Amino acid sequence: MAWVVSSALALVGATGCGVQELPPEDDASTLQTQSQELEVDNGLSLNGLSLNGLSLNGLSLNGLSTTDFSSWFTGDPKTNDRLMRYMIRCAVPAGQTRSFTHPSTGVVYTWPGALGLAPNWAGGAPATLAEQQVISSCLAAHANNYGLHVAISVLGRDSSGANIPYSSEELAAYGKKESCFFGNVFANQGLYAGNDRNSLAADESTSRPCGLKGYKATANAECAQVQRIGQCEEYCTLDASGTFYTTCTYNGVQYRPLTTRIRHQDVHRCGDGICQQGESPGWGVTADSCLLDCGSPSP
């Protein structure tokens, strides 16, 4: 996708941190600026992207025009703003933003960069295959159809093959291996996720439905858009340090994946006294039937 920086997505200088939610769509006409900023430190990131109804139609990766982007974005500003928030944070480096002015309402939507995984595309050139794949991996890694912002560590390589920076402190703070994500939504090849550790135990759950697979070895209904493939090691190759995966091959196609880690407290257990997203009421002691945390089922 070639960004039309001069008008459709203008480059402006901005920095910031924290999470700022959009007001309801009905209020958009009263605002002059919509700025979406998410906390980031190297590969640390917040997920929360809903893949329900995800559509990239109109976001051509080869020669996007101002008219094409405007028609796509204004067709559903609320949904597309949320998608662009993650597209830009994945593709554009930290310290840069991309903006778009709604032609009817005059609202300026501004999206900060963070990970810088697709610098050529972010700079206006058509996306390469590597950029399509790494952006797809990044969207899948940030998916959370519960709508929750859960802190994650994102590891891997950008489209040019450079490592996403990380530190020993980051690996310690995000001490739980989670998943590998890969695919290419722009080529209609889908999105995939594998476990970078054992499947969740019967009493375990997480608030990231697209991440770890549960003990029943079935896909979470809340993340049907991401296909489970089992263990990452069956399809993917680790880097020399053993920290993240560099390539994944599935159905004869080689992809550029991203690898995620989560905090210890973000793997929940039935019996900790809190009914978290991912747990359900019941009469048992498993995540999908947790009497101790969530109570008994409704009559």
Residue 44: which pLDDT band, with cuts at 50, 70 and 90?
low
Q: Are 91 and 122 in contact (CB under 8 A)?
A: yes
pLDDT at 126 > cutoff 70? yes
What are the residue ranges spanned by the domains of the chain?
10-266
Predicted local distance difference test score (pLDDT) of residue 232: 95
| Beta strands in 19-88, from DSSP E residues, in sequence order | 33-35, 44-47
Residue 50: which pLDDT band, with cuts at 50, 70 and 90?
low
Q: Are 183 and 166 in contact (CB under 8 A)?
A: no
Of the listed ranges 63-67, 156-160, 195-199, 294-298, the one predicted with least confidence: 63-67
Residue 4: which pLDDT band, with cuts at 50, 70 and 90?
very low
60/298 Cα distance (integer angstroms): 47
Higher local confidence (pLDDT), 7 or 48: 48
Predicted local distance difference test score (pLDDT) of residue 26: 37
13/15 Cα distance (integer angstroms): 7
53/59 Cα distance (integer angstroms): 15
Amino acid at 79: T
Predicted local distance difference test score (pLDDT) of residue 237: 97
Distances (CA, A) of 189 to 182, 183, 278, 291: 10, 6, 28, 40
**pTM flag (> 0.85):** no
Three-state secondary-structure class, residue 141: helix
The residue written with tokens 């005059």 in the block is 106
pLDDT at 118 > cutoff 80? yes
Predicted local distance difference test score (pLDDT) of residue 162: 95
CA quadruple 60, 65, 66, 67: dihedral sign: negative
